[in-house]
Amino acid sequence: MSAAAVFIADPTPELRLELVRACEEAGPRAVFVASLLEAHTKLLEETPSCIFVDAESCDVESLVSWVRSEGRLFAIPVVAVVPEPSDALFRKAHRFGADDVIVRGDSAAVQARLANLEGFDPATRPPITRGQVVVAYPAGGRRAILGRILRQSGFEVSFAEDADELREIADRSCPSVLIAKSDLPPRGAFEAATSLREQVGEEIPMVALRSAGKLGAFGESSTILDTIAIGSDLAPPDHLLFLANELLSAHQREARTSARLLFGSMCSFRAEGERRPVYGLTYNLSREGLYVRTLDPPQRGARVWLEMRPPHVAHTVHLRGEVAWRKGLQTPGGAAPAGFGVRLSESECPPADLSAYQLGYDALLREPALHHP
């Protein structure tokens, strides 16, 4: 059976026709289902290449949790479809585990993403090159989402519901890094990490995910200490890649001109001089550039224009630069999700906008560190 693009939505007849045409141009068949229950059956019957889910009519988090728990669907990209380009809608969809977000009615975005998946084999797993990670998290659905992100990055993944299961895993093999919910039963992630250190006789780097009730005024901010990174359980799951990589690659941090900081905000980008925008979500920032998460990344070396709202800045700024590197789903592994990195061109950016971006970056860099959940 040929591959199918599965749409969990109930589009108008006009939009359905546009989506069918977009799929015909890109290759896969278009298959439509109207509910999450129907999707469970259809996705197991079909050979999906990509899943598009209407975020207004379907529970994106439930869908992604189920998809990541099904072996044959484990690596299939899920694209959330939102009614309008908004920071809140993009961040929410990514937090629920979507691989990308597009705006409803944008059939060109559908076609571009399907075309970019040409050559992608969801059965291919990257070799295990980064050691073992244990995801210690009580909720099974979220565990599956976090585990998929880490496995695709090249980690061997084990799961634990509590500190007792974590100790059992460590008896068999010492993990390279621990991902733990801050209130991991029975007495929290920090006590579990202390016990683990005593058990294996060495410090295990840990990413502690702070729960919603304990984030306070810090929102989705994070900090990286010597062997502990503290992130938000409300952040997109791919933030784990950044935090784990920062813990395991301290020498790279020291060599950078400026620190990279996690920051998720909707942005638009387009080739130099073009009008039609593509939407993505920023992943991290440095003073010299930024990384944008998308399944439609420009080619390396391309000149691009971007619009985004920097941290602590109320207005949108216009930036210009060159794509320094890109990553697609065809090349699993690595410490970043699919997307592209831009090196900003100071001479081409409007001076006031570049200044606002750099001031916003500096303000994010000064945010208080979080030393305990």
Please report, for residues 82, 171, 223, the alpha-carbon distance to residue 220 in angstroms, rounded to integers and kept in the order given: 22, 34, 10
Q: Rounded to 10 degrees, what is the CA torsion of 152, 146, 49, 37?
A: 160
State the pairing for strand pair 100-103/132-136: unpaired
The mean pLDDT of 110-129, rounded to a whole number, is 91
User: What tokens appear for 129 in the block?
Assistant: 């090159």
Question: Inter-axis angle of helices 107-116 and 13-26, to 10 degrees?
Answer: 30
Q: List, for residues 199-243, the tens digit of each pLDDT value.
A: 999 989 999 998 765 443 334 455 666 788 888 898 899 999 999
β 317-327/339-344 pair status: antiparallel
* Residue 370 forms part of a structural domain: no
pLDDT confidence tier of residue 249, bands split at 50, 70 and 90: confident
Q: Give the residue from 343, 335, 302 showing the smallest Cα distance to 319.
A: 343
How far is Cα 117 from Cα 77, in angstroms, rounded to an integer? 9
Q: Are residues 223 and 238 part of one domain?
A: yes
pTM here is 0.92
Residue 27's domain comprises 4-116
| Cα separation, 9 vs 290, whole angstroms | 33
How many Å apart are CA 31 and CA 46, to the nearest integer? 9
The 3-state DSSP class for residue 154 equals coil
CATH number of the domain enclosing 70: 3.40.50.2300
For residues 77 and 149, membership in a common domain is answered with no
Give the helix, strand, coil percentages of the chain, each rounded to 5: 35, 25, 40
Domain count, the chain: 3
- Range 296-325 average pLDDT: 97
CATH value at residue 332: 2.40.10.220
Calculate ∠ Cα 284-329-74, nearest 5°.
105
